[in-house]
Amino acid sequence: METTTKTAKEIYFDVKNNPARKRFGFGRKAVLVNVDPQKAYTAVGQFATAYETDPKQLEYTNQLAERFRALNWPVVWTHVAYMESGEDAGIWGTRTNTPDSLQNIKFGSERAKFDERLVIDRQRDIIYCKKMPSAFFETQLQSLLVWHQVDTVIITGGSTSGCIRATAVDALSRGYRTIVPEQCVADKHESYHYANLTDLALKYADVLDIDEVIGWLAAQQSD
Protein backbone atom coordinates (compact mmCIF):
# COMPACT_ATOMS: atom_id res chain seq x y z
CA MET A 1 0.00 0.00 0.00
CA GLU A 2 1.30 3.42 -0.94
CA THR A 3 1.49 5.89 1.93
CA THR A 4 1.47 9.68 1.89
CA THR A 5 1.35 12.76 4.08
CA LYS A 6 -0.85 14.60 1.59
CA THR A 7 -4.46 15.48 2.33
CA ALA A 8 -7.31 13.97 0.34
CA LYS A 9 -7.79 17.35 -1.34
CA GLU A 10 -4.14 17.51 -2.39
CA ILE A 11 -4.30 13.98 -3.79
CA TYR A 12 -7.43 14.81 -5.76
CA PHE A 13 -5.87 17.85 -7.39
CA ASP A 14 -2.73 15.83 -8.20
CA VAL A 15 -4.94 13.36 -10.05
CA LYS A 16 -6.99 16.11 -11.69
CA ASN A 17 -3.95 18.05 -12.88
CA ASN A 18 -2.06 14.97 -14.06
CA PRO A 19 -4.64 12.64 -15.60
CA ALA A 20 -3.23 9.18 -16.22
CA ARG A 21 -6.36 7.49 -17.57
CA LYS A 22 -8.43 7.84 -20.71
CA ARG A 23 -11.83 9.40 -20.25
CA PHE A 24 -15.06 7.51 -20.80
CA GLY A 25 -16.31 10.62 -22.58
CA PHE A 26 -19.77 11.85 -23.44
CA GLY A 27 -22.05 9.75 -25.60
CA ARG A 28 -24.97 10.73 -27.81
CA LYS A 29 -27.71 11.41 -25.27
CA ALA A 30 -27.69 11.92 -21.51
CA VAL A 31 -29.91 11.85 -18.47
CA LEU A 32 -29.46 14.26 -15.56
CA VAL A 33 -29.83 12.50 -12.20
CA ASN A 34 -30.00 14.92 -9.26
CA VAL A 35 -29.48 12.82 -6.16
CA ASP A 36 -31.26 13.89 -2.96
CA PRO A 37 -31.00 17.71 -3.11
CA GLN A 38 -33.46 17.87 -0.23
CA LYS A 39 -33.44 20.07 2.84
CA ALA A 40 -32.06 17.34 5.11
CA TYR A 41 -28.83 17.67 3.12
CA THR A 42 -28.91 21.23 1.74
CA ALA A 43 -30.42 23.44 4.46
CA VAL A 44 -27.19 24.34 6.25
CA GLY A 45 -27.94 25.97 9.59
CA GLN A 46 -31.37 24.37 9.77
CA PHE A 47 -30.45 20.69 9.89
CA ALA A 48 -27.32 19.12 11.36
CA THR A 49 -27.16 16.64 8.48
CA ALA A 50 -26.89 19.38 5.84
CA TYR A 51 -23.66 20.38 4.11
CA GLU A 52 -22.32 22.66 1.40
CA THR A 53 -19.17 22.35 -0.70
CA ASP A 54 -19.56 24.77 -3.60
CA PRO A 55 -21.96 27.62 -2.70
CA LYS A 56 -23.22 27.72 -6.31
CA GLN A 57 -24.02 23.99 -6.44
CA LEU A 58 -27.79 24.37 -6.70
CA GLU A 59 -27.48 27.22 -9.17
CA TYR A 60 -25.34 25.01 -11.41
CA THR A 61 -27.82 22.17 -11.02
CA ASN A 62 -30.63 24.46 -12.18
CA GLN A 63 -28.56 25.46 -15.21
CA LEU A 64 -28.00 21.83 -16.14
CA ALA A 65 -31.69 21.01 -15.73
CA GLU A 66 -32.69 23.94 -17.93
CA ARG A 67 -30.37 22.80 -20.71
CA PHE A 68 -31.60 19.22 -20.47
CA ARG A 69 -35.21 20.34 -20.81
CA ALA A 70 -34.28 22.46 -23.86
CA LEU A 71 -32.91 19.28 -25.45
CA ASN A 72 -35.99 17.31 -24.37
CA TRP A 73 -33.70 15.01 -22.43
CA PRO A 74 -34.80 13.47 -19.11
CA VAL A 75 -34.28 15.27 -15.81
CA VAL A 76 -34.54 13.10 -12.70
CA TRP A 77 -34.73 14.18 -9.05
CA THR A 78 -34.45 11.70 -6.19
CA HIS A 79 -35.12 12.10 -2.51
CA VAL A 80 -35.31 9.83 0.50
CA ALA A 81 -38.30 9.61 2.82
CA TYR A 82 -39.55 6.88 5.10
CA MET A 83 -42.65 5.58 6.85
CA GLU A 84 -43.39 6.52 10.45
CA SER A 85 -42.17 3.06 11.50
CA GLY A 86 -38.91 3.49 9.57
CA GLU A 87 -39.11 -0.16 8.53
CA ASP A 88 -38.66 0.76 4.86
CA ALA A 89 -35.13 1.93 5.70
CA GLY A 90 -34.29 -1.67 6.59
CA ILE A 91 -30.97 -2.44 8.22
CA TRP A 92 -29.62 0.92 7.04
CA GLY A 93 -31.82 2.61 9.61
CA THR A 94 -30.70 0.65 12.66
CA ARG A 95 -27.35 2.15 13.66
CA THR A 96 -28.76 5.27 15.34
CA ASN A 97 -32.19 6.56 16.29
CA THR A 98 -32.04 10.31 16.81
CA PRO A 99 -34.06 13.13 15.21
CA ASP A 100 -31.20 13.45 12.69
CA SER A 101 -31.13 9.77 11.75
CA LEU A 102 -31.79 8.67 8.19
CA GLN A 103 -34.94 6.67 8.94
CA ASN A 104 -36.41 9.73 10.66
CA ILE A 105 -36.66 11.63 7.38
CA LYS A 106 -40.42 11.11 7.27
CA PHE A 107 -42.81 11.58 4.37
CA GLY A 108 -44.10 15.15 4.36
CA SER A 109 -41.43 16.45 6.73
CA GLU A 110 -39.25 19.50 6.11
CA ARG A 111 -36.22 17.25 5.82
CA ALA A 112 -37.85 15.32 2.98
CA LYS A 113 -38.67 18.43 0.92
CA PHE A 114 -36.58 19.53 -2.03
CA ASP A 115 -34.60 22.71 -1.48
CA GLU A 116 -36.67 25.77 -2.49
CA ARG A 117 -33.76 27.14 -4.52
CA LEU A 118 -34.18 24.34 -7.04
CA VAL A 119 -36.23 24.83 -10.19
CA ILE A 120 -38.19 21.60 -10.64
CA ASP A 121 -40.67 21.26 -13.48
CA ARG A 122 -43.17 18.90 -11.93
CA GLN A 123 -45.01 18.52 -15.23
CA ARG A 124 -41.93 17.28 -17.13
CA ASP A 125 -39.27 16.13 -14.67
CA ILE A 126 -39.22 12.69 -13.09
CA ILE A 127 -39.18 12.34 -9.29
CA TYR A 128 -38.28 9.11 -7.51
CA CYS A 129 -38.34 8.36 -3.82
CA LYS A 130 -35.45 6.02 -3.11
CA LYS A 131 -34.72 4.12 0.07
CA MET A 132 -31.07 3.14 -0.36
CA PRO A 133 -27.89 4.90 -1.55
CA SER A 134 -28.07 4.28 -5.30
CA ALA A 135 -30.65 6.09 -7.43
CA PHE A 136 -30.94 2.84 -9.39
CA PHE A 137 -31.80 0.59 -6.45
CA GLU A 138 -35.46 -0.48 -6.65
CA THR A 139 -36.54 2.61 -8.60
CA GLN A 140 -37.70 2.83 -12.21
CA LEU A 141 -34.55 4.68 -13.29
CA GLN A 142 -33.10 1.85 -15.39
CA SER A 143 -36.36 1.43 -17.33
CA LEU A 144 -36.53 5.19 -17.89
CA LEU A 145 -33.02 5.24 -19.34
CA VAL A 146 -33.81 2.35 -21.68
CA TRP A 147 -36.97 4.13 -22.87
CA HIS A 148 -35.05 7.36 -23.56
CA GLN A 149 -32.16 5.43 -25.15
CA VAL A 150 -29.54 7.37 -23.23
CA ASP A 151 -25.93 6.27 -23.01
CA THR A 152 -24.61 8.89 -20.59
CA VAL A 153 -25.55 9.58 -16.96
CA ILE A 154 -24.69 12.99 -15.46
CA ILE A 155 -24.96 12.98 -11.66
CA THR A 156 -25.36 15.85 -9.20
CA GLY A 157 -26.30 16.06 -5.51
CA GLY A 158 -24.93 14.41 -2.42
CA SER A 159 -23.25 13.01 -0.67
CA THR A 160 -20.14 12.44 -2.76
CA SER A 161 -19.03 9.58 -0.52
CA GLY A 162 -22.48 8.02 -0.27
CA CYS A 163 -25.31 8.27 -2.76
CA ILE A 164 -23.26 9.91 -5.52
CA ARG A 165 -20.65 7.20 -5.41
CA ALA A 166 -23.26 4.43 -5.21
CA THR A 167 -25.20 5.86 -8.15
CA ALA A 168 -22.04 6.31 -10.22
CA VAL A 169 -20.89 2.74 -9.60
CA ASP A 170 -24.33 1.43 -10.55
CA ALA A 171 -24.42 3.60 -13.69
CA LEU A 172 -21.03 2.32 -14.84
CA SER A 173 -21.99 -1.24 -13.96
CA ARG A 174 -25.00 -0.91 -16.27
CA GLY A 175 -22.82 0.24 -19.14
CA TYR A 176 -23.41 4.00 -19.03
CA ARG A 177 -20.81 6.68 -19.56
CA THR A 178 -20.86 8.40 -16.19
CA ILE A 179 -20.13 12.09 -15.62
CA VAL A 180 -19.84 13.87 -12.26
CA PRO A 181 -19.61 17.68 -12.49
CA GLU A 182 -17.24 18.54 -9.66
CA GLN A 183 -19.03 21.70 -8.51
CA CYS A 184 -22.40 19.92 -8.42
CA VAL A 185 -21.66 17.38 -5.69
CA ALA A 186 -21.09 17.91 -1.98
CA ASP A 187 -20.28 16.15 1.25
CA LYS A 188 -20.12 16.77 4.98
CA HIS A 189 -16.32 16.91 5.18
CA GLU A 190 -13.73 17.78 2.55
CA SER A 191 -11.75 14.64 3.32
CA TYR A 192 -14.64 12.34 2.36
CA HIS A 193 -15.53 14.57 -0.58
CA TYR A 194 -12.10 14.70 -2.21
CA ALA A 195 -11.18 11.11 -1.41
CA ASN A 196 -14.28 9.93 -3.23
CA LEU A 197 -13.84 12.34 -6.13
CA THR A 198 -10.39 10.80 -6.55
CA ASP A 199 -11.78 7.28 -6.48
CA LEU A 200 -14.58 8.16 -8.88
CA ALA A 201 -12.15 9.82 -11.29
CA LEU A 202 -9.75 6.88 -11.26
CA LYS A 203 -12.36 4.14 -11.58
CA TYR A 204 -15.99 4.91 -12.21
CA ALA A 205 -16.65 8.29 -13.81
CA ASP A 206 -15.30 11.35 -15.54
CA VAL A 207 -15.14 14.06 -12.88
CA LEU A 208 -15.34 17.29 -14.88
CA ASP A 209 -15.62 21.02 -14.30
CA ILE A 210 -19.18 22.29 -14.67
CA ASP A 211 -18.16 24.58 -17.54
CA GLU A 212 -17.13 21.59 -19.65
CA VAL A 213 -20.42 19.83 -19.03
CA ILE A 214 -22.45 22.93 -19.86
CA GLY A 215 -20.32 23.47 -22.96
CA TRP A 216 -21.07 19.95 -24.19
CA LEU A 217 -24.80 20.48 -23.63
CA ALA A 218 -24.67 23.81 -25.47
CA ALA A 219 -23.01 22.08 -28.42
CA GLN A 220 -25.88 19.58 -28.59
CA GLN A 221 -28.38 22.45 -28.80
CA SER A 222 -26.50 23.99 -31.73
CA ASP A 223 -26.33 20.76 -33.74
In tens, the pLDDT along 147-196 reads 999 999 999 999 999 999 999 999 999 999 999 999 999 999 999 999 99
Evaluate if residue 27 carries a pLDDT over 80.
yes
Mean pLDDT in residue range 7-31: 95
89, 145, 163, 210: the catalytic one is: 163
Quote the domain boundaries for residue 196.
8-222
Distance CA 150, CA 178 (A): 11
pTM summary value = 0.97
Distance CA 181, CA 197 (A): 10
Evaluate if residue 222 carries a pLDDT over 80.
no
Confirm whether 184 is a catalytic residue.
Answer: no
Evaluate if residue 223 carries a pLDDT over 80.
no
193: CATH = 3.40.50.850
**Could you give the number of structural domains in the chain?**
1
User: Would residue 200 count as lying in a domain?
Assistant: yes
Q: Would you state the pLDDT for residue 20? A: 86
Half-sphere exposure of 11 (CA within 13 A, CB side): 20
User: Would residue 121 count as lying in a domain?
Assistant: yes
Are 129 and 122 a contacting pair, CB within 8 Å?
no
Distance CA 102, CA 122 (A): 25
User: Would residue 50 count as lying in a domain?
Assistant: yes
Distance CA 208, CA 103 (A): 33
User: Would residue 3 count as lying in a domain?
Assistant: no
User: Would residue 166 count as lying in a domain?
Assistant: yes
Higher pLDDT, residue 222 or 64:
64
User: Would residue 1 count as lying in a domain?
Assistant: no
